């Protein structure tokens, strides 16, 4: 798959690559209905599709099929991209392409969740919503299990069965430039490269002051919002945003 040059009749070795400036210049024409500009934009980003489908090369899927599905994700990204947000197109498009491929793989997966397990999962979601409305906070799995009068393990198993996989390349933070992805927080257990990256991450974190470390820990390791962090630390949401951005920039330079 990786070494395949011609995919869906396209010679991938000769694909053009558009610069960010060229893409920005094409978008007004695309929005005005210029089909030639749209075609140029699509061809100029097919290498982005190629880079994504290589991440799925161990699935045993036909590369031509994955490429076509990835192109559908690319087109959806073009149709929905908001140029006013100041985000790189690739930052927005990669999760869209991955999501399209992930749905294709899921829909074509031979493994199916049983009806009874799916029903349990949906009842657990209903119980969670009921408990959340009653208490104003997310309930624990144990509380959901108690509400349903089921063993905790049954609830966990059912919810896991219907859970949508989270892409490692899903952006969880961006400041208009390069995004911070889920994979940036995941530690590998058998990769020397990932092990070295984790050391570098810890070293970069150690060079931050106590408040910056606390903010990043709460935001990206405990999953709290900036408003929640602001309330816990006792500063404004704007200050949290500024400190978070500055800390990430310094860490990025150090790493």
State the Cα–Cα distance between residues 70 and 106, nearest whole angstrom.
Answer: 14
Q: In this structure, which CATH number among 2.40.50.140, 1.10.10.10, 3.40.390.10, 3.30.60.50 belongs to the domain 187-254?
A: 1.10.10.10
Closest CA to 23 of 70, 93, 72, 120: 93
153 burial type by CB count under 10 A (0-12 exposed, 13-18 middle, 19+ buried): exposed
Give the DSSP per-residue string, 172-192.
Answer: EE-SSSSPEEGGGGPPPSS-H
Q: pLDDT by residue (tens digit) across 155-198?
A: 887 877 666 555 555 555 555 555 555 555 554 444 445 555 66
Residue 64 token pair: 């031509």
| Mean per-residue pLDDT, 58-81 | 85
What would be the CATH architecture of the domain defined by 6-107? Up-down Bundle (1.20)
Closest CA to 188 of 217, 168, 161: 168
Closest CA to 214 of 233, 189, 236, 195: 233
- pLDDT of 199 above 80: no
Q: Fold identical between 6-107 and 187-254?
A: no
Q: Which residues pair with 11 in a beta bridge?
A: 6
Q: What's the whole-model pTM score?
A: 0.43
Within 10 angstroms of residue 207's Cβ, the number of other Cβ atoms is 12
Q: Which residues pair with 181 in a beta bridge?
A: 171
Give the DSSP per-residue string, 100-124.
Answer: HHHHHHHHT-S----HHHHHHHHHH
Residue 175 token pair: 């400041």
State the Cα–Cα distance between residues 80 and 251, nearest whole angstrom.
Answer: 32
The CATH code for residues 115-162 is 1.10.10.10
| Mean per-residue pLDDT, 133-153 | 88
Helices 89-107 and 46-53 meet at what angle, rounded to 10?
50
**Contact between residue 119 and residue 127 where contact means Cβ atoms under 8 Å apart:** no
Q: What is the pLDDT of residue 37?
A: 92
Q: Cα 173 vs. chain centroid, distance in angstroms? A: 10
| Domain ranges (residues) in the chain | 6-107, 115-162, 187-254
Mean pLDDT for all residues in the chain: 79
């Amino acid at each position: 798959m990786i070494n395949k040059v011609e995919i869906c009749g396209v010679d991938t070795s000769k694909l053009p690559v558009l610069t960010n400036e060229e893409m920005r210049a094409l978008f007004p024409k695309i929005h005005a209905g210029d089909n030639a500009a749209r075609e140029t934009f699509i061809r100029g980003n097919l290498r982005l599709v190629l880079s994504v489908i290589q991440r799925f090369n161990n699935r045993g899927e036909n590369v031509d099929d994955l490429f076509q599905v990835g192109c559908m994700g690319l087109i959806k990204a073009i149709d929905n991209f908001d140029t006013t947000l100041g985000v790189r197109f690739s930052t927005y498009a990669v999760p869209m392409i991955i999501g399209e491929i992930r749905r294709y793989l899921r829909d074509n997966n031979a493994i199916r969740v049983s009806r009874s397990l799916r029903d349990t999962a949906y009842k657990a979601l209903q119980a969670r919503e009921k408990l959340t409305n009653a208490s104003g906070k997310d309930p624990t799995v144990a509380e959901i299990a108690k509400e349903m009068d089921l063993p905790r393990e049954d609830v966990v198993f059912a919810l896991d069965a219907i859970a949508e996989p989270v892409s490692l390349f899903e952006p969880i933070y961006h400041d208009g430039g390069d995004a911070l992805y889920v994979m940036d927080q995941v530690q590998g257990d058998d990769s020397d490269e990932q092990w070295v990256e984790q050391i570098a991450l810890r070293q970069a974190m150690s060079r931050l002051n106590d408040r910056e470390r606390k903010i990043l820990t709460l935001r990206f390791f405990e999953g709290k919002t900036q408003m929640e962090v602001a309330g816990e630390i006792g500063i404004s949401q704007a200050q949290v945003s500024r400190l978070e951005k500055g800390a990430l920039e310094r860490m990025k330079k150090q790493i």
